[in-house]
Structures are given as C-alpha cells and as structure tokens.
Amino acid sequence: MKKHVIKVSLATLSLFVATACTDLEEKTFSEATADKFFTNAASFEAALVPAYASLRPYVWNYWNLSEHTSDELQGPTRGGDWGDGGQWVRLNSHELLPNEGLINDLWNDLFTGVSRANNAIETFKVAPDAVKEKALFVAEARAVRAFYYYLLCDTFGNVPIVTVAQADPKNPPAQNTRAEVAKFIEDELKAVLPNLLDKAPYGRFDKGVANSILAKLYLNSQAWTGTARWADAVSAADAVINSGRYSLATNYFDNFKLQNEGSPEIILAAAFSSTRDLGFPNQNLYMRTLHYNQIPASPWNGFTTIAEIYDGFETGDPRRSVMWEGQQYLPLSWPAAATSGTKVKDRPGNDLIFTKNCPITGADERQGIRVPKYQPDIAAPGGQGENDFVIFRLADIMLVKAEALVRNNNATAALPVVNAVRSRAGLRALTSINIDGIYKERTAELFWEGVRRQDQIRFGKFTEAWTNKAASNARVNLFPIPTNQIASNPKLKQNPGY
C-alpha cells in the first residue's frame, strides 16, 4: 500500500514536471532574429539603411579628431569647462594615446559602418527576387564600405580588411597593410562603379561619390603608400567635375545653411534633422563653438581657431566672415556676426568680446575666435541642427584636381580651376598658382570641414609647430591602434612609433 502511494505520487509529480518543462530557448519580442524578420521586400530594403546611418558619426569623432589635431581648431579649457580628462589638450599637442577614448570611438564608428555594409551585402545575398534593386543595393553597400575603409586608411592605415558583418572573436581577422587597404578601396570602387546610379537620390552613393573617394585616395596615395597617383587623381576628379551633375553654389554659405540640401555643389552629405530623433551624434557644430549666451539652446563655449589661421586669409575674403571676432550682439545674424543690437554679456557680466589670442588651458569665456561655419539653428532646441553635414562637395574635388595638376607639374591647367573656386567666393583671379597657393586656398575654402588633418599630412605640415602646439613626432601621421582593439584582437600590431 505504502509503495503504491509513493509510486502514484511520484508519477503525478513527474507528470507535473513534464508538462511544465520548457527548452528555455529565449523568446524574442522587441527584437527578432534575422530569419524571422526579413519577410518582405520592404524589410530587405531597410537592411541597407544602417550603413548610411553610420555616416552621421563622421560629424563627431572623425571631425573632432581631424580638427583638434590640426592647426585650424583648438579646444581650450575654460575654468572647469572642457577639461574632460585632458583629451582636447592632448589632441591639440599631438599626445596621441592608444587608450584615448575618442580614438577608440573612431575605430568603432568606422568598423561599425563596415559591419553594417557587410551585413547588408550578406542580407541581399539571400533576398528574394521581389527585392528588385538588390544588385544596386549590393553595389552601393560595397561603395559605402569602401568609404569607411577610405577613412580607416586615412586615420589608422593598417587595419584588417573584413567582408563579414561579425568577425569571429575566437579567430579575429588579420591586419592588412595600408597599401593593401588602399588597393582594396580602389578595386572595390572600380568594380562597383558601373553598377552605381549616375545620380542617386540625395544622401545615397552614386558614381559621383565613388569617384570623389577615388580622387581623394589617389591624391593621398603618395602620403599614404609612397606611390604618387596624380594623373589618376585628376581623372577621378574630372569624372565628378565633368559629369555635369554638380555645380558650385552661387553663394558659398548655401552649403552650410539650415536647408543646405538644395545646394547643387554637394556630392555627399550626412543628413540631419532638427525634428527627427536619429540618436547621437547630432549636427551640433555651432554648439561646440558659440558662447552660452548667444542662442537659447545654450551652446558649449568651446572650440576656437587660432590667430595665424584667422590672419592667413586674404584681405576681404568673404569666407572668413563666419569667423567671429570682437563684440557679439543679439539678435544673431549669420554668416557674418551681428554688428549691432543688444550686446551679449558673458556669465560674469562682462561684454562678450571674442579675442584672437586664446591659451589652450585656462582661457576665459571670451577668448578665441569662434567659427559657426554651419548656420546656428536657433529654433532647434537643445543643439540639434537641421543642416546636413557635407562630406564631399564640388569645390573640394576641384581643388583636388588643381592640387594633383600642380603636383604633376601642370600648374597652368590648375590655375583656372582654382580661380573658379575663388571667383565664386568673390575673390580676384590669380595669375599663377603653386603648391603653397593650393594649400592656402584649401585652408580658406575648406576650414572646419573635417579635411584639415589629411591636408596637413599630405602637405607635410602636420608635425610642425603652431600656436599652442610644439613640433611633433612623425608617428602622429597615423593614429595609434586603440588599446581596446589590440586587447580583443591580438593579431593587431601597433602602428610605428607608438
């Protein structure tokens, strides 16, 4: 009897247990596995978008690292403000540390872009034919990937070339040389060029974008790989210039105003919106430079340019009007600062007068010339501008062509190209041009657009001394491979000199 009872109860219990048992496979609700998510053409088409979303971080890490290490921008500490663990001052003085957070973030930004492009390619491989544009999307994704590799080649140089979305942590990818990376970019772009659209909708990669990347790659080829490719640079630039799809904006500042998407000059831009949540980073370039009391969103009173950049402009160059010096007034005007109205005060109550000289540490609120190159979006609360960030524009590519011609000993052919850019700015035509003239023109045309570090390296000026910065070791022409990356991928070797 006893045994019977035990048996029955055990049987009942095991029945309960059996019915309650689950395999513990995690159920997904607010996320989905890829095989469950991609159910129709619309969802497949959305797979390319994240690769484009990765253009936006350009405006934060790539821009900051390209500008702070260059001569045209500095981030002084002001009292407690902008100390930030010393990172801005370190960049300014070319103390480039492998464990610098911003440098690690840049690596991650760019490789996230690579991963997203690779994932798009992998996804389209399994897409049904209902996804009509899948061949085009694959070509675009490869071009986008080439763009991120172009930036990686520019900043870190020696990076692994990977064509899968997720590297295997147990067998991480091997490092490639900078020359191999450059070759990969060139091969990829050449391979996809025929499949790209002649002119894609704004914000997407087309032949113009691919040729712009190639032009820049060739222009920097000598600095990056030791092989000069001046003629290739000219022909790639010509492919853009002669495509007939771009023209210089009548007004230089149309490229930077709030609704700059209408500018015929823009080849590639990262689109931002003041009303759409697109996550960090925002288009907040004006927030980084203007004083707290200049617009309602309370900018951060940060970055300035230095005296020799400001003084280096030709007299009457209207492009300089967006560099603000002296007493500031409200209401604000742009591009030139308002010259009348209510005087802006600093927080202690002094007149807000921006001065040319500004130390790199311990500056006060008023020191330093401010450069709101992009129009401040006064209506956008909280520092999220409507202006799109221009990555490639025609004037830049024209100057690429002119520089390549000059370097290839054909200054005569370069002169009209430079003069076209100057003429749009409202400056007199030059009668001759040399490499120094090109450098000066690039400074005046492209300041604070995120190209300065690359230019300075190519012109051999990056390691020189300038205001608040001593001469630096040639190793800084490449950023160090971040400590975190070497930790997770022991196959990575540190760049020379670090």
Partner 1 sequence: MMNHSYRLFQKVFVKAFFALTMLFTGLSVSAQDRQISGKVTDASDGSGLPGVSVQVKGTRKGVSTNVDGSYRIEAPSNATLVFSYVGYTSQEVAIGNKTVVDVTLSADVKSLEEVVVVGYGEQKKRDITGSVSALKPADFNPGVTPSVDQLMQGRAAGVQIVQNNGSPGAKTSVRIRGGTSITAGNDPLYVIDGVPLDNSATSPRSTNRGPGIDAGIPANEPTNPLNFLNPSDIASIDILKDASATAIYGARAANGVVLITTKKGAKGKGRVTYDGYYGVSNLRKRLPLLNADEWKSISRANGGVAGGNANVDLQDEIFRTGMLQNHSVGVSGGTESTNYFVSVGYTGQEGIVKGGNMERLSARVNLQQRALNNKLLIDFGMTGSRERQKQVPASGNSGDFRGGILAGMFKWNPSIPLINPDGSYNQLSASNPNPVALINLVDDRMTIDRILANISAEYEIIEGLKAKVFLAGNSSVGTRESYYSRDLLNYAPFGGVATLGKTNFSSWQVDYTLSYNKKIGDNQNLSLLGGFSYQNFDNRLSGTTVRNFLNDVLRTNKLESGSDFTVPPYSDRSLREIQSFFGRANYDIAGKYLLTATIRRDGASVFGTNNKYGIFPSFSVGWRISDEDFMKNQTTFSNLKLRAGWGQVGNANIPPYSSLTTVVADPNRSAIIGNEFKPGVGLTRASNPDLQWESTSSLNIGLDYGMFNNRVQGSVEFFNRITNNLLYTIPVPQPAPFTNQLANVGSMKNTGVELEITTNNVNKGTFTWKTQLNFTALRNEVTKIQDGANFLVFAKGVGAGASNAPVQILAPGYPVGTYILTPITGYGPEVAGAKSPTYGSKDAIALFESGESVAFGSGLPTWYGGLNNSFTFGNFDMSLFLQFSGGNKILNNTFYEFTRLDNITKNAYGAVKPLYNDPQTKFNADFLESGNFLRIGNLTLGYNVPAKALGKVVQSARIYVTGQNLHVFTKYRGYDPAINTPLDGDNGTSGLSLDYLAYPLPRNITFGVSIGF
d(CA 198, CA 68): 36
Q: Could you tell me how many residues of this chain bind partner 1 (CB under 8 A)?
A: 109
d(CA 161, CA 174): 8
Stretch that binds partner 1, among 33-41, 65-73, 219-227, 306-314 (CB under 8 A): 33-41
Q: Which two tokens stand for residue 240?
A: 């853009």
Binding residues for partner 1 restricted to 426-465, rule: CB under 8 A: none
| Residue linked to tokens 């009391």 | 293
Closest Cα partner for 59 from 338, 422, 319, 390? 390
Among 11, 39, 49, 432, binds partner 1 (CB under 8 A): 49
Among 128, 341, 362, 460, binds partner 1 (CB under 8 A): 362
Least distance to partner 1, CB of residue 243, Å: 19
Least distance to partner 1, CB of residue 295, Å: 10
Stretch that binds partner 1, among 214-222, 360-368, 440-448, 452-460 (CB under 8 A): 360-368
* Residue whose CB is less far from partner 1, 67 or 365: 365
d(CA 484, CA 97): 12
Stretch that binds partner 1, among 101-109, 304-312, 410-418, 466-474 (CB under 8 A): 101-109
22 touching partner 1, by CB under 8 A: yes
Binding residues for partner 1 restricted to 256-285, rule: CB under 8 A: 261, 271-279, 282
Binding mask 57-86 for partner 1 (x = CB under 8 A): --------------------xxxxxxxxxx
> H/E element holding 327?
strand 326-327
107 touching partner 1, by CB under 8 A: yes
Tally of CB atoms within 10 A around 212? 27
* Residue whose CB is less far from partner 1, 235 or 483: 483
292 touching partner 1, by CB under 8 A: yes
340 touching partner 1, by CB under 8 A: no
387 touching partner 1, by CB under 8 A: no
Least distance to partner 1, CB of residue 129, Å: 19
> H/E element holding 304?
none
Binding residues for partner 1 restricted to 458-487, rule: CB under 8 A: 483-487
Q: Which two tokens stand for residue 236?
A: 């790639």
Task: Count Cα neighbours of 66 within 13 Å in the Cβ-side half-sphere.
Answer: 22
Binding mask 159-198 for partner 1 (x = CB under 8 A): -x-x-xxxxxx--xx-------------------------
138 touching partner 1, by CB under 8 A: no
d(CA 485, CA 98): 9
124: exposed, middle or buried (Cβ count in 10 Å: 0-12, 13-18, 19+): buried
Q: Which two tokens stand for residue 135?
A: 């061949």
* Residue whose CB is less far from partner 1, 160 or 335: 160
Handedness of CA 428, 434, 440, 446 (dihedral sign): positive
208 contact partners, CB below 8 Å, separation of at least 6: 199, 240, 243, 245, 246, 267, 268, 392
